[in-house]
Structure 1
Amino acid sequence: MSIRANFTAAGRGTGRRALRALLAAALAASVLLPAPAFADVRGTDQLLGTTVAERGLPAVACPNVTARYAFVMDAAGTVYFSREADVQSHIASITKVMTAIVALDSGMPMDTVITVGEKAATVGESSADLRMGDKLSLKAALTGLMVSSGNDAAIAIAETVGATLAADGQDANEAFVAAMNAKAAELGMNDSLFANPHGLDIGEYDNEMYSTAHDVGLMCAYAMKNETFRSIVAQDKAQLAVTKPDGSTATIELTSTDLLLGVYEGACGIKTGYTEAAGNSFAGACNRGDGDLYAIVLGAPSESARFEDAKALFNWVYDNRMTYALAHSDQWVTADEDGTSAKVPLIAEVPHTAWLDKRVKATFADPGASVEVFAPEGNVSQELVTRDLPGAVHAGDVVGTMNFYQGNELIASQDLVAVEDSPAPDFLQGIGFWWERLWAGFGGRELVAAPVVVNQTPLIYSKASTGQSIEDIRAIAAGDDVVPDDDSASDGADEEE
């Protein structure tokens, strides 16, 4: 027997580094400013695979971003939000994530010496301030690649690692790029093509290359499984030890281009990018102790906007993750079991099928049970499944189950246990009930008390209809509204006669 209740609801030198630091500080301050007014919500934006328009959600319930393409997923592969995430676009220096992946997956020791050649030293644009003839470890080169977005480090890595991958007569850089594309295919990046290890797309580097927000998300999730990569991209500042051509040593101070590091809670990397073709882009990771989130922002209108977009996407996911208490009852009863009494929420009154008209009061086996939900998936419904109770019932006996759904997905189940004893009918009463039921059966009637569901499933996503703040909604979902004072608990419905 079941009853289901639904409640919907480029230069070098000290001067250049100083200028870079000044610009970085200015940009860091701008990250804290409100999102630009032209951020928008589109009906075609997808939340968990369904468009905003199809869900009928108001703009206030959706992430408000400026980027042409955007994507948010977690380490388990759940895609929370996407905007044109499968449309091909240039990704500029985000390309360097794949460069790091190929280098790390090559198995080359991190202390391998990388020598900076002429091509690396003269590539221009973003740089780790490396000069021709400089020597540094592979790990240091990867740091220059990811922290300061060094195009020089990218080419130096590709030339060294690529030389070990090249077939007879094959150019080391070509071999490295081939490995980048092979890795992309392996990761399921079906809409990506790499043409160089740094992402420049102008001048001599103006070749066919592209990726998508979705593919970048897959790439970043893979890269962040590598602890060396994680440790590098998590640095807001770093130092490179370099051996100069004359044998002297030098330390190069680097500042990360990721301006969320140290500013936004949980930010832990990964990579920025900019070219005129790509626009301002950012692939960011955030972890607040419950797994990685990856926010991919491609084609934002400004440097600060890309970070604001990433924050908006992260905030939206975190704000909508809620702890949903299963017990939401305004009636409380005293449960007695093994000599122990406790006030518990009255969840349902379950038919005692040995009788014609009796019900047994029941609570959850774990009255404090909860489940983690993501609000835009929809409100929660419950289904009471009762058991046949042909004999005596004792406090603590399992008398049914309550199933909880979000949409059509079962998200939790709780056993219902009796909070009181209920004896079986005596022999003569049993004979009488059997006779009554026999004759009732001829008339198509079932002589058993109807179940009563006392528990409620309050709305968890009701800002549009109630104007409640996210804090209020979270408190209600967590059950903060149903915990009684010791003197205010009721005993629920009247006892059966």
Structure 2
Amino acid sequence: MLLIRAKHSHTAQSRSRRACLTRRALACLLAAVLAGGVFAPAPALAEVRGTDQLLGTTVAERGLPAVACPNVTAKYALVVGADGTVYFARDADTQTHIASITKVMTAIVALDSGMPLDTTVTVSEAAGTVGESSAELAVGDKLSLQAALTGLMVPSGNDAAIAIAETVGATLAAEGQDPNEAFVAAMNAKAAELGMTSTLFSNPHGLDVGEFDNEMYSTARDVAVMCAYAMKNETFRAIVAMPTAQLTVTKPDGATDIIDLTSSDLLLGNYEGACGIKTGFTDTAGYAFAGACNRGEGDLYAIVLGTPSENARFEDTKALLNWVYNNRMTYALAHSPQTVPMDVDGTVTEVPLIAEVPQSAWPDKRVKATLADPSATVEVFAPEGNVSQELVTRDLPGAVSVGDVVGTLNFYQGNELIASQDLVATEDSPAPDLFQSIGFWWDRLWAGFGGTELMAEPVLVNETPLIYSKAATDQNIDDIRAIAAGEAPLSEGDPSSDDSKEE
């Protein structure tokens, strides 16, 4: 068995809109001019920090250009997939206030309590007069628990938060214990259960001033854990996906009132795949957002805390989500500058020439081979690194026919095997006759005494184009991406590929 490992040092960013990349590049250029370097802090501007982590490795360690990295204003941020993959992190374990994102845990405790969703919730004096963000509930109003949860999550109602905490807390409280205190204790117990080790709640709504100025904190990483758990509940998921909603409440006099609500999540209906979850703001916390997005490949959570404005939190979220989606790409496995004809059952087609495999029965003959599936692709995330290939050949001591498996081509991203394809012969090649075999045996016997081996070397023709270039700019990154996806041909001297190297 012969093995060739071809490694390349390439890069490319996957699909992204040129306008988005231009905006990122300009933002980073401006930050560099004002602060004296691409990775220097630029207050109130989107920036790339050398300490930002991409897949667990800092931007500085990766040596990536700013155009290849997400630019955000948030002090703390995290992007994580449903499978737990952390794509981006900025001070994600630093404790900070999270304002109304607290309400996600309020909803979790209420839903996990097992209390029926049609349970009546009554708005108390404390709930109806709490102030700040509101579901427009009045003292004495009665509504279902599901309606209260809608008032909690859609417009970020502090009134709904207290009403829920008092109603659910009453079923959790020990004798003589305040229902609200019992509810907050349940919030902290749930946080501990979920592994949110850097989180402390002190109320059900997240206000942190005046009478609510108590110790409370969380982190971007803990918020992501909380949100991923909450989104497993279909009731919660349906509520946070609503850009608008209506509440039906019963007034103290028995009359029915309809309250129209508008979500504080401005991405709903305005950003592809947006499906929640929660905004937050206080003077201490700044503007914050925990967003979820799903484009058919599972939930993606973007957490941004401590942004300077309402618009910034949504722009940050979009920048982070776009960066992940734009770097998910389909990588074509066959990238050969040559083709050969292949006759299968009388039908001749041109296929990519991937390798030439030694036919060991002969001292100087190789068999042309292609991939078993020349159109095969693999899904990759560009910042994980460039693709390399490994040729493993089979011993071919006899005749070879078209379609015979003559080896394997393995593909790696970093050190991880991401794809493997059989190599099949594109031509027939007979075995030597008896007299030729005897002659070759004799020649090889004598060659062996001289320390040489009479057999052709394998040739790897296939190339692995760049998917990520440290020299990438918004001018050439689309071209690099198109070549790697097989949407544009390789050309001689193209900067998106290197010649294969054997080792």
TM-score, L = length of structure 2 = 0.89
Superposition pairs for residues 74-473 of structure 1, below 5 Å?
Answer: 74-462=81-469, 464-465=471-472, 468-473=475-480
Q: Which amino acid aligns with 1:371?
A: V
Q: Corresponding residue for 2:42? A: none
**Mapped partners of 1:103, 1:176: distance in 2:** 9
Structure 2, unpaired ranges of 5+: 11-22, 31-44, 492-503
Secondary structure at the counterpart of residue 405 of structure 1: strand
Closer, same or farther in 2 for the Cα pair 1:163/1:467, shift >3 Å?
A: closer
Q: Corresponding residue for 2:64? A: 57
Contact 1:463 1:470 in 2 (8 A): no
Task: Indicate the structure whose relative CO is greater, using CA pairs within 8 Å and at least 6 residues apart.
Answer: 2
Secondary structure at the counterpart of residue 214 of structure 1: helix
Q: Corresponding residue for 2:8? A: 7
Query: Offset of 1:468 from its aligned partner?
Result: 4.3
Q: Which amino acid aligns with 1:195?
A: S
Contact 1:325 1:479 in 2 (8 A): yes
User: Does 312-321 or 445-454 show the bigger shift?
Assistant: 445-454
Question: Which digits, 9 at most, give the CA deviation of each residue in 1:164-201, with x for residues without a partner?
Answer: 22222222112211111111112121111111111011
Q: Which amino acid aligns with 1:305?
A: A
Question: Which digits, 9 at most, give the CA deviation of each residue in 1:279-302, with x for residues without a partner?
Answer: 110001111122111110000011
Query: Offset of 1:335 from its aligned partner?
Result: 1.1
Contact 2:65 2:470 in 1 (8 A): no
Secondary structure at the counterpart of residue 199 of structure 2: coil
Question: Which digits, 9 at most, give the CA deviation of each residue in 1:393-436, with x for residues without a partner?
Answer: 11111110111111111111111011111111111211222222
Query: Offset of 1:469 from its aligned partner?
Result: 4.2
**Mapped partners of 2:115, 2:301: distance in 1:** 27
**Mapped partners of 1:448, 1:156: distance in 2:** 82
Contact 1:285 1:295 in 2 (8 A): yes
Q: Which amino acid aligns with 1:170?
A: Q
Question: Which digits, 9 at most, give the CA deviation of each residue in 1:372-399, with x for residues without a partner?
Answer: 1111111111010111111111111111
Q: Corresponding residue for 1:17? A: none
Query: Offset of 1:467 from its aligned partner?
Result: 5.5
Query: Offset of 1:160 from its aligned partner?
Result: 1.0
Contact 1:135 1:242 in 2 (8 A): yes
Secondary structure at the counterpart of residue 402 of structure 1: strand
Question: Which digits, 9 at most, give the CA deviation of each residue in 1:426-470, with x for residues without a partner?
Answer: 112112222222222233322211111111000011372465444
What is the percent sequence identity of the aligned residues? 78
Q: Which amino acid aligns with 1:54?
A: E
Q: Which amino acid aligns with 1:123?
A: V
Secondary structure at the counterpart of residue 423 of structure 1: coil
Secondary structure at the counterpart of residue 228 of structure 1: helix
Contact 1:323 1:372 in 2 (8 A): yes
TM-score, L = length of structure 1 = 0.90
**Mapped partners of 2:107, 2:474: distance in 1:** 47
Secondary structure at the counterpart of residue 385 of structure 1: strand
**Mapped partners of 2:475, 2:374: distance in 1:** 26
Closer, same or farther in 2 for the Cα pair 1:174/1:127, shift >3 Å?
A: same
Q: Which amino acid aligns with 2:95?
A: Q
Secondary structure at the counterpart of residue 463 of structure 2: coil
**Mapped partners of 1:255, 1:123: distance in 2:** 19
